[in-house]
Structure 1
Amino acid sequence: MGSGGAGTGDKVTISEIARQAGVSVPTVSRVVNGRSDVSPQTRARVEDLLIRHGYRKRPAAPGTRAALLDLVFDDLESPWAVEIIRGVEEVAHAAGVGTVVSAVHGRSGDARAWMRNLRARASDGVVLVTSALEPTLHEELRILGVPLVVVDPAGSPALDAPTIGAANRAGGLAATEHLLSLGHRRIGLIAGPPRLLCSRARLDGYRAALEGSGLPVDASLVVPGDFRPESGFTACDTLLDLPEPPTALFAASDRMALGAIEALRRRGLRVPQDMSVVGFDDLPEVRWSAPPLTTVRRPLADMGRLAVRTVLRLTRDEQPDSPRVELGTELMLRASTAPLA
Structure 2
Amino acid sequence: MNTSTRKQNKKSSIRLADIAKETGYSLATVSKALNGRADVSEDTRQAINAALNKYGYSRKATVGKNQQLIEIVFQDFDNVWALEVMRGTIREAKLHALSVITTEGGSRKHPDSSWIDNMLRRQTAGAILVFSNLTRIEQNKLRSRGIPFVLFDPFGDPEPTTLSVQADNWTGGVSATRHLLALGHTRIGIITGPGEMMCSKARHDGYTSALAEQGIEADPELITEGDFTTPGGYAQAISLLQQPNRPTAIFAGNDLQAMGVYEAARQLNLRVPEDLSIVGFDDVQTAAFLGPALTTVKQPLQDMARTAVRMLVEAMKEGDVLQPHVIMPTSLIVRGSTSEPHAANRAKQRR
TM-score by length of 2: 0.80
Alignment of 1:114-129 (within 5 A): 114-129=115-130
- The superposition leaves residues 31-72 of structure 1 with CA deviations (integer Å, 9 ceiling, x where unpaired) of xxxxxxxxxxxxxxx989844599888455xxx655111111
Corresponding residue SS for 2:100: strand
Instruction: Give the gaps of 5 or more residues in structure 1.
Output: 1-6, 13-18, 22-45
Q: Which residue identity lines up with residue 11 of structure 1 in the other structure?
A: L
The Cα shift of 1:107 comes to 9.0
SS in structure 2 at match of 1:183:
coil
Indicate how the Cα distance of structure 1 residues 213 and 58 shifts in structure 2: closer, same or farther if over 3 A, else same: closer
Alpha-carbon spacing, 1:272–1:65, altered in 2? closer, same or farther (3 Å): closer
Partner AA of 2:76 in structure 1? D
Q: Which residues of 2 match residues 210-289 of structure 1 at below 5 A?
A: 210-289=211-290
Alignment of 1:44-123 (within 5 A): 50-52=35-37, 58=62, 60=64, 67-106=68-107, 111-123=112-124
Distance in structure 2 (CA, Å) of the matches to 1:216 and 1:303: 34
Distance 1:156 1:10, change over 3 A: farther
Partner of 1:133: 134
How big is the alpha-carbon RMSD for the aligned residues of Structure 1 and Structure 2? 2.7
The question of whether the paired residues in 2 share the 8 Å contact of 1:57 and 1:122 is answered with no
Tell me the secondary structure at the aligned position of residue 316 of structure 1.
Answer: helix
1:340 aligns with 2:341: yes
Give the ranges of 4+ consecutive aligned residues of structure 1 lying more than 6 Å apart after TM superposition. Answer: 46-49, 53-57, 107-110
**Cα separation, 2, equivalents of 1:59 and 1:284:** 36
- Whether the 8 Å contact between 1:57 and 1:119 is mirrored in structure 2 is no
2:23 alignment counterpart: none
Cα deviations by residue, 1:164-220 (Å, 9 ceiling, x for unpaired): 100100001000000000000100001110111000000000000000011111011
Correspondences of 1:286-305 after superposition (within 5 Å): 286-305=287-306
Letter of the 2:328 counterpart: L
Deviation at 1:111, TM superposition (A): 2.8
- Structure 1 residues 288, 338: closer, same or farther in 2, change over 3 A? same
Larger helix proportion, structure 1 or 2?
2
- 1:159–1:109 distance in 2 versus 1, CA, 3 Å: closer
1:11 aligns with 2:16: yes
Residues 1:308 and 1:107: Cα distance change in structure 2 (over 3 Å) = closer
Count the aligned residue pairs. 303
Residue type of the partner of 1:235?
Answer: Q
The structure-2 alpha-carbon separation of the partners of 1:131 and 1:58, relative to structure 1 and needing over 3 Å to count, comes to: closer
| Offset, 1:321 | 3.0
2:341 maps to a residue whose letter is L
Pair 1:159 & 2:160 matched: yes
Q: Distance in 2 between the 1:75 and 1:167 partners?
A: 23
- The question of whether the paired residues in 1 share the 8 Å contact of 2:62 and 2:145 is answered with no
**Kindly tell me: are residues 100 and 85 of structure 1, through their superposed partners in 2, closer, same or farther at Cα, counting changes over 3 Å?**
same
Shift of 1:143: 1.7
CA 1:159 to 1:146, structure 2 compared with 1: closer, same or farther past 3 Å? Answer: same
Distance 1:187 1:171, change over 3 A: same
Write out per-residue CA displacement over residues 7-33 of structure 1, whole angstroms, 9 at most, x where no aligned residue.
997637xxxxxx969xxxxxxxxxxxx
C-alpha displacement of 1:338: 0.5
Residues 65 and 228 of structure 1: CA distance in aligned 2, closer, same or farther (over 3 Å): closer
Which residue of structure 2 aligns with residue 208 of structure 1? 209
User: Share of identical aligned residues, percent?
Assistant: 36
Measure, in 2, the Cα distance between the counterparts of 1:83 and 1:107: 17
Deviation of 1:320 (Å) = 2.7
Which of 206-215 and 154-163 deviates more?
154-163
The normalised TM-score by structure 1 is 0.82
Cα deviation for residue 77 of structure 1 reads 2.4
Quickly say closer, same or farther: Cα 1:269–1:49, change in 2 above 3 A. Answer: same
Cα shift at 1:318 = 4.9
Cα shift readout 1:220-277 (whole Å, capped 9, x = no counterpart):
1001100101111111111112221111110011011110110010111100000000
SS of 2:312 mapped into structure 1: helix
Tell me, in whole angstroms, the C-alpha distance in 2 between the residues paired with 1:59 and 1:336.
50
Match of 2:144 in 1: 143
